[in-house]
Amino acid sequence: MRRKRSADKATRGGVTDRLRTQDSELRTQNFPFQHAAAYCILHIPMHRVLLLLPTTTYRTKAFIEAASNLGVELAAASELPSTMEPLNPGGLLTLDFLRPELAAERAAAFAARYPVDVVIPVDEDTAVAAAWIGEALNIPHNPPSAAYTAKNKLLMRRALMKAGLPVPRFHSFPVGADPLEHADRVGYPCVVKPAFLSTSRGVMRADNDLELVAACDRLEKILVQKDVARRGGVAATEVLLEQFLPGFEIAIEGLLTDGRLKVLAIFDKPDQLDGPFFEETIYVTPSRLTKETQDAVALATEAAARAMGLVRGPIHAELRINDSGPWVIEVAARSIGGQCSRTLRFGRELASLEELIIRHALQEDVTSVEREELAAAVMMIPIPRAGVLKEITGIEEARRLPGIEDVIITAHLTQRIAPPPEGASYLGFIFSRTTTASEAESAVREAHRRLKFTIEDSRQ
Ligand code: ADP
Ligand code: CA
Ligand code: CA
């Protein structure tokens, strides 16, 4: 599959150039005059990328394709053992991402037999493990403390405040404490959230005492769930209160190199997110904000990442912009989640985000890489209500609409589903690609109107 690499990639330097040479050498090996060169090439070890893939990720395929396009060898680590592991000992391993120090020890034992050049995490939990593994393997990495900070919103708020960056008023208290004793520290409206979850799980707005008490009760029920408590550890025992920040929300995707941010894309979130819950829906790129505002967003993101100690690799941040400028909601030490990376393509060869992440991890200079000219949008299809998913219609019709690239349903029929704050998934994803951002946005909205979901009450 890596034969698909196009000729114009030859203009790029670094790793890909070397890989390309390797490629063409292999292709031309039959010509006698190439033998000497081919012989030398055989002595250049192939790069092995250790990918940390939680079993719940949607990104496996995209990363495998990217590695194959680049001709790098992939070793995939997951938290559950694969039955294929004995058949492919250099390509598969099991690591407990929630015990990063232990994961680092095991990864080091693995790397002693199968040398690893870089380690790439796909989410926030694995980012912590990646930092420890990077340290153990003596390969470039973020400091583990920075990865922890990025995973814990309370630590993140403290780091930003300490660096003198704009932060909403915030305060934390133990789960089960009387929230009304703490409400004054932040005031209303406020946002109640867990320190460590994602996809807006457990994130709720409260405008008064009554709503605050209800929100804290609701959050407690989420935090005591066994898997959530295990994943969160001590972070599952605290509630974070934040001042509600009004404003227009964007997401920014980027790569850090020695603390410098390369912006890959800024996404507008055109659906106003004012609560009481904060389900993600549409992301559209390019952003329609002014260049000045986009630059301010990039600067604020870079400053926040630096304050947290993040220095390298992908970041995905969310910011709100109001009259006082950009405010960081969070900076995660990972790339965009779900299947949303499909919206992004880079350079003339339309490289995927995953490919760019691997190239960057292998030290390629990506400063001049630009997203394609076309606009793109993705809708994370919201779950209209809790229940059991019975039927979905209109998918084919939605797919045929102009500008629509794909409609993917990730929820299963008969699956019990719930919107936030309890739920942490979507029904699927709608992708569009057109000439302008507003067309891309309209296209996903139109496609969404064609989809009909039948959801039945789950309590019989
Ligand atoms: P998660 O990690 O689950 O995505 P976030 O902290 O990013 O949690 O919150 C999810 C969403 O809730 C944000 O994208 C934003 O829309 C909203 N939100 C979170 N904190 C605030 C805040 N302090 N003010 C206004 N909105 C907020
Ligand atoms: Ca998050
Ligand atoms: Ca978020």
Q: What is the DSSP letter of 8?
A: G
Ligand 1 centroid vs 216 CA: distance in angstroms?
A: 16
- Pair 303, 151: CB distance under 8 Å: no
Q: Is the CB of 201 under 6 A from ligand 1?
A: yes
Query: Which residues partner with 265 through β-bridges?
Result: 253
Q: Which atom of ligand 1 is nearest to the CA of 244?
A: 24
Strands 73-78, 92-94: parallel, antiparallel or unpaired by DSSP? Answer: parallel
Residues 6+ apart with CB under 8 A from 399: 406, 407, 447
Instruction: Categorize the per-residue pLDDT at 6 as very low, low, confident or very high, splitting at 50, 70 and 90.
Output: very low
- Pair 136, 108: CB distance under 8 Å: yes
- The three-class DSSP label of residue 337 is coil
> What pLDDT does 13 receive?
38
**How far apart (Å, rounded) are the C-alpha atoms in residues 336 and 329?**
15
Q: Is the CB of 271 under 6 A from ligand 1?
A: no
Ligand nearest to the Cα of 333, by number: 2
Residue 185's CB: how many other CB atoms inside 10 A? 14
**How far apart (Å, rounded) are the C-alpha atoms in residues 223 and 171?**
18
Q: Which of 209, 208, 210, 171 is nearest to 193 (CA)?
A: 171
- Which segment of 2-6, 94-98, 193-197 scores lowest on mean pLDDT? 2-6
pLDDT digits (tens, 9 = 90+) for 377-416: 999 999 999 999 999 999 999 999 999 999 999 999 999 9
Peptide bond before 140: cis, by omega within 30 degrees of 0? no
Strands 325-332, 313-322: parallel, antiparallel or unpaired by DSSP? Answer: antiparallel
**How far apart (Å, rounded) are the C-alpha atoms in residues 246 and 350?**
36
Region 332-356: mean pLDDT is 95
Task: Name the residue with the closest Cα to ligand 1, atom 17.
Answer: 278
Q: Which of 318, 332, 157 is nearest to 242 (CA)?
A: 157
Does pLDDT of 18 surpass 60?
A: no
Q: Which of 269, 447, 267 is nearest to 371 (CA)?
A: 267
Instruction: Categorize the per-residue pLDDT at 56 as very low, low, confident or very high, splitting at 50, 70 and 90.
Output: confident
- Pair 336, 352: CB distance under 8 Å: no
> What pLDDT does 436 receive?
98
Does pLDDT of 26 surpass 50?
A: no
> What pLDDT does 44 receive?
47
Does pLDDT of 11 surpass 50?
A: no
> What pLDDT does 223 receive?
96
Residues 6+ apart with CB under 8 A from 359: 14, 15, 16, 70, 351, 366
Instruction: Categorize the per-residue pLDDT at 85 as very low, low, confident or very high, splitting at 50, 70 and 90.
Output: confident
**How far apart (Å, rounded) are the C-alpha atoms in residues 187 and 86?**
57
Average pLDDT, the chain: 90
- The three-class DSSP label of residue 153 is helix
Ligand 2 centroid vs 11 CA: distance in angstroms?
A: 37
pLDDT digits (tens, 9 = 90+) for 325-334: 999 999 999 9
Q: Is the CB of 193 under 6 A from ligand 1?
A: yes
> What pLDDT does 453 receive?
96
Residue 21's CB: how many other CB atoms inside 10 A? 14
Q: Is the CB of 199 under 6 A from ligand 1?
A: yes
Ligand 1 centroid vs 257 CA: distance in angstroms?
A: 26
Residues around ion ligand 2, judged by CB within 5 A, are 198
Percentage of the chain surpassing pLDDT 90?
Answer: 82
**How far apart (Å, rounded) are the C-alpha atoms in residues 336 and 371?**
15
pLDDT digits (tens, 9 = 90+) for 268-313: 999 999 999 999 999 999 999 999 999 999 999 999 999 999 999 9
- Pair 331, 305: CB distance under 8 Å: yes
Region 61-81: mean pLDDT is 92
The structure tokens listed for 432 are 């569009």
**How far apart (Å, rounded) are the C-alpha atoms in residues 376 and 382?**
19
pLDDT digits (tens, 9 = 90+) for 129-168: 999 999 999 998 999 999 999 999 999 999 999 999 999 9
Which residue's structure tokens are 């559209």?
A: 284
Give burial (CB, 10 Å; 0-12/13-18/19+) of 72.
Answer: buried
For a pocket test of ligand 1, which of 201, 244, 278, 334 has the largest count of ligand atoms closer than 8 A to its C-beta? 278
Strands 73-78, 48-52: parallel, antiparallel or unpaired by DSSP? Answer: parallel
> What pLDDT does 58 receive?
84
> What pLDDT does 459 receive?
65
Region 184-206: mean pLDDT is 96
Edge-to-edge strands of the sheet including 48-52?
92-94, 73-78, 48-52, 118-121
> What pLDDT does 38 receive?
39
> What pLDDT does 33 receive?
35
Q: Is the CB of 191 under 6 A from ligand 1?
A: yes
Ligand 1 centroid vs 425 CA: distance in angstroms?
A: 16
Instruction: Categorize the per-residue pLDDT at 45 as very low, low, confident or very high, splitting at 50, 70 and 90.
Output: low
pLDDT digits (tens, 9 = 90+) for 225-266: 999 999 899 999 999 999 999 999 999 999 999 999 999 999
The structure tokens listed for 301 are 């993101």
- Pair 143, 113: CB distance under 8 Å: no
- Pair 423, 386: CB distance under 8 Å: yes
Ligand 1 centroid vs 203 CA: distance in angstroms?
A: 7
Region 326-348: mean pLDDT is 95
Q: Is the CB of 328 under 6 A from ligand 1?
A: no
Task: Name the residue with the closest Cα to ligand 1, atom 8.
Answer: 200
